Amino acid sequence: MTGRADLTLAGAVAGIAFANPPDGYMDEAMEAGLLAAVEAIESDPAVRVCVLSGAVPGVFVRHYDIRPLAARAAAMAARGLTFDQARPVREGPIHRALRRMEAGRVVYVAALDGAAMGGGFEIALACDIRIAAEGAGPFGLPEVNLGLLPGAGGTQRLTRLVGASRALRLMLSGDTVDAGGLAAMGLADLAPPGGARAAALALAARIAARPGRALAHIKALAARAFDPDRGAALDAERTLFCDLMVTPEARALMDQAAAGRRRITDDPDREGSP
């Protein structure tokens, strides 16, 4: 079977479902499908949130299919290719897709109802929010067990999310964890068994009800939390705060709050809101 990343659009909430039965491996077709789906989502102004999930029972994306990787490795070795950091390898579709997800305005939620290792886990790490079903797994970056390393941003994203010590513990040992382990590291929220997608869709609907400009600004600022120039990031925060203050949505909501008809904890789409 050829891998797929099937896109569904339903107003403000989009979905990407990964399918490659029976095992749920990633391949070049799934890479290309993910990139095309992300580009379509980011180009659609109606979309505010996207839920990523697996279409194969018990699998998000198991990991990259080793068979084409082994064939590619043999072909490169036969050509006598060598690699040097002074000549970086070009990005492939998976790298461009994950970078676009991080840099884009849409909020990405990974619904982890099953296994996600290697490249599959790297997709989840590139999402803004992860929800894992209790008992689901395994999850991790066990490439070292094949003499490899995570090649789609895993060394960087996992380290930023959980810190160097925990990230290195997982990557150097090749160990995997279950959903409880993800939650213990702060990497995912727990959902009932088999219910990660339902929980992700419910959360996506709530997030999508918020003003889209505010969502995009918050996501962009959070990405700058590790900016070495903290002053510049704080400058951006003040500026974007004021940018939102003058939007029609914010002005109407603040006017209602000032008049006592709304609390700051009320959903923007409740009755009486604009």
pLDDT over threshold 60, residue 274: no
Determine the 3-state secondary structure of 240 from DSSP.
Answer: helix
Q: List pLDDT tens digits, range 15-31.
A: 999 999 999 999 999 99
Catalytic residue numbers read: 122, 143
Tens of pLDDT, residue by residue over 158-175, are: 999 999 999 999 999 999
In this structure, how many other beta carbons lie within 10 angstroms of the beta carbon of residue 23?
12
Q: For residue 65, give the amino acid letter.
A: D
pLDDT at residue 218 is higher than 50: yes
Does residue 223 carry a pLDDT above 80? yes
pLDDT of residue 194: 86
Residue 13 pLDDT greater than 50, yes or no = yes
Q: Is pLDDT above 60 for 271? A: no
Return the pLDDT at 69: 94
pLDDT of the residue at 270:
63
Question: Phi, psi at residue 88, to the nearest 5°?
Answer: -60, 145
125: nearest Cα among 148, 97, 144: 97
| C-alpha span between 254 and 269 (Å, rounded) | 14
- CA 108/CA 106 separation, integer angstroms: 6
Per the CB < 8 A criterion, the answer to whether 73 and 131 are in contact is no
Average pLDDT over residues 194-209: 96
**Per-residue pLDDT tens over the stretch 31-89:** 999 999 999 999 999 999 999 999 999 999 999 999 999 999 999 999 999 999 999 99
User: In the predicted model, is pLDDT for residue 8 greater than 70?
Assistant: yes
User: For 101-154, what is each residue's pLDDT tens digit?
Assistant: 999 999 999 999 999 999 999 999 999 999 999 999 999 999 999 999 999 999
Tell me the H-state helices in the chain: 28-42, 66-78, 93-103, 119-126, 154-162, 164-173, 179-184, 196-208, 212-222, 230-245, 248-258
Q: What is the Rg, in whole angstroms, of the alpha carbon atoms belonging to the chain?
A: 20
Q: What is the rounded distance in angstroms from the CA atom of residue 266 to the CA atom of residue 258?
A: 13
pLDDT category of residue 272 using cuts at 50, 70 and 90 = very low
- 269: confidence class by pLDDT, cuts 50, 70, 90: confident
In this prediction the pTM is 0.94
Q: Are 190 and 183 in contact (CB under 8 A)?
A: yes
The backbone torsions φ and ψ at residue 8, rounded to the nearest 5 degrees and listed phi first, read: -125, 140
Q: Is the pLDDT confidence value at 9 over 80?
A: yes
